[in-house]
């Protein structure tokens, strides 16, 4: 199999095949944990660490694992990485661990991780696999943070509240507040808000892609042709 260029791998992971926006994988943490920007960011980073690690190791061992037991071995490796990340978060970011709770162990069954292991890492060189893991994780982190930021801003009127859980006391300066009289739209923080915000992001990303492919369509006012571009 020919190796894709690193640039291509990075672009796929970050945007073209973004695991949240395009593949819509890993929706459990995406919808449940993104009630604030910091939650989304930390969950994204935990996923990134696991993805980069598991992708690299799985690529390194890809010639030794027989096809019939590959899924078993992949899951064992992923579980080891997730447990390690969880212990490290609990030891050094205890407040964060209390917020993320069950969602860190659940990274084991996030389809993104096994999906990248099976579809990419097991077929490509370690460097490509690491790049893919890193940029796929980064793509997920960006979207989870963005989703968290939208929901936090709409729901509570703050941005990066409780950043001290991640950055220590320095984080307190990162918090932005819209003003103390902002009541917030509660629905944004509740589960339906997650679906609305994610849907909005998916639509936006599809628009941007359609525009990148055929900018002219968006300049022309005729509705039918822009409909065609969307489909």
Partner 1 sequence: MTTLHPILMAGLIVGAFTLVSVSVVVVTHQATESRIEDNQRLSLLDKLHALVPANWVDNDLTADIIQVPGPAALGGREMKVYRGRQKGQPVALILAVVAPDGYAGPIQLLVAVKTDGTLAGVRVLSHQETPGLGDRIEEQKSGWVLGLMEKSLDHPAIERWKVKRDGGDFDQFTGATVTPRAVVKAVKNTLLFVKEQQASLFLAPSPPPPQEKHP
Positions touching partner 1 (CB under 8 A) are 61, 64-66, 68-69, 72-73, 76-77, 79-80, 83-84, 87-88, 90-92, 94, 98, 186, 189-190
Question: In whole angstroms, how close is the CB of 209 to partner 1 at the nearest point?
Answer: 34
CB closer to partner 1 out of 64 and 169:
64
CB closer to partner 1 out of 87 and 178:
87
Handedness of CA 185, 191, 193, 197 (dihedral sign): positive
H or E element at residue 158: strand 158-159
CB closer to partner 1 out of 94 and 170:
94
Residue corresponding to tokens 């055929």: 214
Question: In whole angstroms, how close is the CB of 169 to partner 1 at the nearest point?
Answer: 16
Continuous H helices in 69-162: 70-92, 94-100, 111-119, 126-156
CB closer to partner 1 out of 18 and 162:
162
Question: In whole angstroms, how close is the CB of 73 to partner 1 at the nearest point?
Answer: 5
Question: In whole angstroms, how close is the CB of 72 to partner 1 at the nearest point?
Answer: 6
Question: In whole angstroms, how close is the CB of 225 to partner 1 at the nearest point?
Answer: 44
> How far is CA 162 from its chain centroid?
20
**Rg of the chain taking only CA atoms, in angstroms:** 19
90-125 exposure pattern, b = at least 16 Cβ within 10 A, e = fewer = eeebeebbebbeebbebbbebebbbbbbeebbbebe
CB closer to partner 1 out of 65 and 210:
65
Q: What phi, psi does 119 have (nearest 5°)?
A: -80, -25
CB closer to partner 1 out of 94 and 218:
94
Contact 139, 19 (CB under 8 A): yes
Question: In whole angstroms, how close is the CB of 201 to partner 1 at the nearest point?
Answer: 22
């Amino acid at each position: 199999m020919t190796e894709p260029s690193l640039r291509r791998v990075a672009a796929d992971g970050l945007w073209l095949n973004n695991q949240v926006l395009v593949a819509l994988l890993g929706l459990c943490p995406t919808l449940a944990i993104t009630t604030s920007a910091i939650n989304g960011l930390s969950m994204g980073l935990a996923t990134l660490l696991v993805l980069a690690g598991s992708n690299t190791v799985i690529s390194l061992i890809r010639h030794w694992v027989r096809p019939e037991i590959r899924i078993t071995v992949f899951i064992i490796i992923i579980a080891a990485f997730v447990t390690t990340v969880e212990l490290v978060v609990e030891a050094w970011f205890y407040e964060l661990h209390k917020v993320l709770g069950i969602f860190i162990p659940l990274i084991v069954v996030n389809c993104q991780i096994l999906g990248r292991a099976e579809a990419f890492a097991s077929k490509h060189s370690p460097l490509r696999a690491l790049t893919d893991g890193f940029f796929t994780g980064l793509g997920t982190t960006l979207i989870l943070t963005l989703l968290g930021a939208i929901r936090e801003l709409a729901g509570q009127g703050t941005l990066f509240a409780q950043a001290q859980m991640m950055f220590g006391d320095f984080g307190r300066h990162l918090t932005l507040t819209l003003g103390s009289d902002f009541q917030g739209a509660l629905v944004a923080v509740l589960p339906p808000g997650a679906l609305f915000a994610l849907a909005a992001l998916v639509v936006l990303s599809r628009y941007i892609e359609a525009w990148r492919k055929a900018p002219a369509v968006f300049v022309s006012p005729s509705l039918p042709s822009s409909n065609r571009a969307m489909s």
